[in-house]
Amino acid sequence: MISGTAYGVVLNDRDQLAALGPALSEAPYGAPPDWPVVYIKPRTCFSFGGAPVLLPSDCDHLSVASTVGILLGRDAANVRRENAPAYIGAMCVALDVCTARDDYYRPAIAQSCRDGFLPLGALAAASALPDEIVTRIDGAIAHRWALSRLVRPVERLIADMSSYMTLRAGDLLLIGLPGDAPRAFAGQDIEISAGDLPALRTRIAAPT
């Protein structure tokens, strides 16, 4: 189980970095990122068993970004890339929900940390990562992305992050978000599938 901190990274999608292009060299950024751009999802975001995501009353839609969560099986500190697989305890599909993703300058706490904004699929034994993640909205494929798009594959992500902060056993690491994540609206059903991992199903519920 997740007993620690849920970390994730943004701007780990090659296609997104290409699309943003020169904008990352302009204000307020100044230069493309050198290090993983890390965020934290608080425990109140975790949602299991297909509970619906509540659309906040101040929003018309949500950005639903599919990813894979890695559950750390051992404390990872100063881990070399080639040794990183030994630290992966289990994995699951995950849906990173956010009200808007238009700004990477300040941590997106009010956008990303709302209750239930991290639905998680069932954990499965660590195996090879899936090749791609597919998002279906109301049964139709709304998005798919190949994990070959990751700028830092999982092994390098664990190596780079663990060079300055320990990823503890029980922490969750979300390995990257697609820059072209789809939007979802109240009443829509969402299904995330990725290779052999147990699929995640949830729904966007209208505010009550």
Catalog residues that contact other proteins under the rule CB under 8 A.
Answer: 3-5, 7, 10-11, 28-31, 33-35, 37-40, 42-44, 56, 77, 104-110, 113-115, 161, 164-168, 171
| Closer residue to other proteins, CB minimum distance, 34 or 82 | 34
| Closer residue to other proteins, CB minimum distance, 105 or 125 | 105
> Least Å distance between CB 49 and other proteins?
19
> Least Å distance between CB 196 and other proteins?
29
State how far the Cα of 95 lies from the Cα of 63, in Å rounded to an integer.
10
Q: What are phi and psi of 87, to 5 degrees?
A: -95, -5
Which burial class, exposed, middle or buried, applies to 48 when counting CB atoms under 10 A from its CB (0-12, 13-18, 19+)?
middle
| Closer residue to other proteins, CB minimum distance, 22 or 28 | 28
> Least Å distance between CB 121 and other proteins?
20
> Least Å distance between CB 43 and other proteins?
5
| Closer residue to other proteins, CB minimum distance, 43 or 80 | 43
Sequence-distant (≥ 6) Cβ neighbours of residue 76 within 8 angstroms: 84, 87, 158, 162, 166, 167, 168
